[in-house]
Amino acid sequence: MLGNLDNEVVFKKAFTDKVVFQCFVKDILGFEVQVGKIETEKRFNPKIGNIDFELDIYAESVDKRICIELQKVQYDYTFDRFLHYFVMLIAGQQQSAKEYSINQTVYQILVMTLPYTLKDLTGRIITDEMLITNFTTRNASKVERLLYRHSFVTLNPNHRDPNTPQPVKDWMDFIYESMHNPNNPTLNLQNVGIKRAAELIEVTKFTPKQLAAKKSIEQARNAKIVGEEAAEWRQKVRIAKEFYTNGASVEFIAKGLRQSIEETQAMIDLTAENDRKPFF
C-alpha cells in the first residue's frame, strides 16, 4: 500500500531521496543533473525580497550551475505567487555576486495535488496537466535569442493531456495513483526513480515518528475541509433567508443554490426559528 503523495510527509520522504529527485528532474526537465545536499523547508538568510518564503525541497547541482526547487501545492495560491518564488530564486544570487551576472540557471517544479481553481488572465479556469513558463527574448523580426535558460514547470495529475510526454505522464500516474488507488496502483516500475519512490512510500516503511506527523497533517486537513463545508452551508443559509425575505419562492432559491426544495425549505425554517436569537 502506498502512502498518499498529497501528504507533505510522504511527498518529502519520496522526493528528498537523491535517486528519486534526480530521476524526476531528468524526466520533467529533459536533462540529467547531479545534485548535492537536498534541503527541505529552505529559507534564505538574509531574506530575499519582502516575503520570508519557504521552499519545500531545494537542491543545487554539484557544479553549482543549477538550482532546482520542487514545491508541492495542496491548494491553489496564484500564479503570481509562484512567479514571486521563481524570481526570488534568481534575485537571491545577487546576495553574493560581485557583478550583476547570474551564474546559476534556476528551475522550479510545482506539483499541484488538487484540481486547479486558478484562472488565466481571460478568466478561464486552468485545466492543463503541464504548464511551462520560460524567459524568452526575441528581436524585432521575432527571432529568438537565447539569453536565459530559467524555467518553471507546473504539473497537475488531475488534468490529463494526451500530448504530455510519456516520462512526465508516468510520474503524474504515480502521484495520482498514490492518492486514488494506493492499494493496487498501476505504475511504470521500469522507471528506476518511480520504482524507488514507490518502495520508499510503502506504508510499512514509515517510522512511528513519520506516521505520527503524517496523521497530524491528515487530521488538520480534515478539520479544514469540515470548516470550509460549514462555512459554505452558512453562506447558503444566509442567501436562502435573504431571497425568501424579499419574496423569492422556495423553488427559485433551491434552483439557484443547486439543491433540493426540501433542503432549501429546511434552511428557511431554521432561520425563522432563530430570528429571535443570534444565528451565527
Closest alpha carbon to 150 in 92, 80, 84, 90 = 90
Does a structural domain hold residue 254?
Answer: yes
**Does pTM top 0.75 for this prediction?**
no
- Taking only the tens of pLDDT, the chain with its 280 residues reads 898 898 888 898 999 999 999 999 999 999 999 999 998 887 776 566 666 677 888 998 998 788 888 888 866 666 777 788 788 888 777 655 555 667 788 899 999 888 887 788 888 888 899 999 988 899 999 999 988 889 999 999 999 999 999 999 999 999 999 999 999 999 999 999 999 999 999 988 877 777 677 666 666 665 555 555 666 777 788 888 888 888 889 888 888 888 888 878 877 776 654 554 443 4
Do 218 and 193 share a structural domain?
A: no
- Mention every residue, 6+ apart, whose C-beta is less than 8 A from residue 244: 250, 253, 268, 271
Do 179 and 103 share a structural domain?
A: yes
Alpha helices in 92-207, H assignment, sequence order: 166-180, 192-200
Instruction: Examine the fold and report which residue of 188, 206, 224 is the final residue of a domain before the chain moves on.
Output: 206
Number of domains in the chain: 2
